[in-house]
Amino acid sequence: MKEMLDKKKVVVGMSGGVDSTVAAYKLKELGYEVIGINMKLWKEEKFEDEQFENDGGCCSLSSVNDARRVCSKLDIPFYVVNFKEIFKKKVVDYFVDDYQNGRTPNPCIACNKFIKFDALLRKAHELGAYYVATGHYAKIEYDNNINRYLVKKSNEDKKDQTYAIYNLTQEQLKHTLMPLGDFNSKDDVRKIANSFDFSMSKKKDSQEICFVPDDDYSGFVERYIDKKFTKGNFIDLKGKILGKHNGIINYTIGQRKGLGITFGKPTYVIDINSKTNEITLGDNEGVFKKNLIANEFNSIYYDKIEGELEVYAKIRYSAKLTKCIISVIEEDKIKVTFMSPVRAITPGQAVVFYKGEYMIGGATIERSF
């Protein structure tokens, strides 16, 4: 099958937003045969109604229409492909399961791994396209010295999205294009959008999780599993009961506001134990940790890591890079020791590693200590 793929043909995941639109525009300008595909993803029934459609949702009715319109202006084919079943299984079910177990999931990372660079890539191959492309701000290059595809930070540091694609495989990177990585600013991207579609250039960036457009995560999970989360105990570091919480799904590590309980001093969530239904509270110092264990480690830069490796890491998309040492303790499990304490290391989130301008891999945080 792959021998029949055309290296000048690319499928672009069209969300109806500025970034994917300009990605398609840029690739056509570079001489590629571009096909636009909008991915129909699973969405809760209450948000299928038009009254809940919003301008920022990547799979709303208005966004599908926007994607269709710009593809017409670009004179490229446009298709809507149903990925509801796999999205529900790989993204929504995972999201709900993590929250039930006291973790804080990152569904966008799961969507990249299983939908945009797997299911969509397979669809691209079915259409004879060698590549899939998205509007991510990142760069992919091949290093002949080490015979590996590498991921490099975007020119626009504030928009850099390498954190969200740490789990891509060499095979996926081989068939992926990210034309926005070379832009120096989002303003430059909007200028291109404005040149052929004024209304598109004014669209706001999508912020919310696409299948929870009202941002009510706890309400969504409770509706999804048809069960209310039970109240449990707030405890201190010594196990003393401090009061009652409203269900572990309503809290995350490092949280201070919205606890529903006051102590006359700043108090933070230190730990969440889903097995005992207890949430540990403490002062700000208790939120800082120097070590973590992470699983499902994916290395992009190195074929294999042996011994200790000194790199920089961040534990969430917006976090600052912190110097650390990583060591592999099992096949896909690593220990990370930071040179200085890091605030609110959160199970379920990703820890992603960097070496200079290169993102070298990452893993899912299991616990901190």
> Would the pLDDT of 59 be above 60?
no
Do 355 and 246 fall within a single domain? no
Ordered strands of the 268-273 beta sheet? 241-245, 232-235, 278-282, 268-273
Q: How many residues does the chain have?
A: 369
pTM: 0.92
Do 165 and 298 fall within a single domain? no
Higher pLDDT, 89 or 56: 89
| Domain CATH for 275 | 2.30.30.280
> Would the pLDDT of 201 be above 90?
no
Residue 46 token pair: 């209450």
Known binding-site positions? 13-20, 39, 135
pLDDT digit string, tens, across residues 262-282: 888 999 999 999 999 999 999
| Domain CATH for 25 | 3.40.50.620
Query: What pLDDT score does 56 carry?
Result: 46
Residues 6+ apart with CB under 8 A from 240: none
> Would the pLDDT of 2 be above 70?
no
- Give the count of domains, the chain: 3
Mean pLDDT of the chain: 91
CB atoms within 10 A of CB 194: 14
Do 122 and 247 fall within a single domain? no
DSSP reduced 3-state for 257: coil
Do 301 and 276 fall within a single domain? no
> Would the pLDDT of 187 be above 50?
yes
147 found inside a domain: yes
Residue 268 token pair: 């933070």
pLDDT digit string, tens, across residues 314-369: 999 989 999 999 999 988 899 999 999 999 999 999 999 999 999 999 999 999 99
Give the domain range for residue 157: 2-201
Known binding-site positions for ATP? 13-20, 39, 135
Do 189 and 251 fall within a single domain? no
Query: What pLDDT score does 96 carry?
Result: 96
CB atoms within 10 A of CB 60: 22
51 pLDDT band, cuts 50/70/90, is very low
What is the set of active-site residues? Answer: 111, 210
pLDDT digit string, tens, across residues 174-184: 999 999 999 99
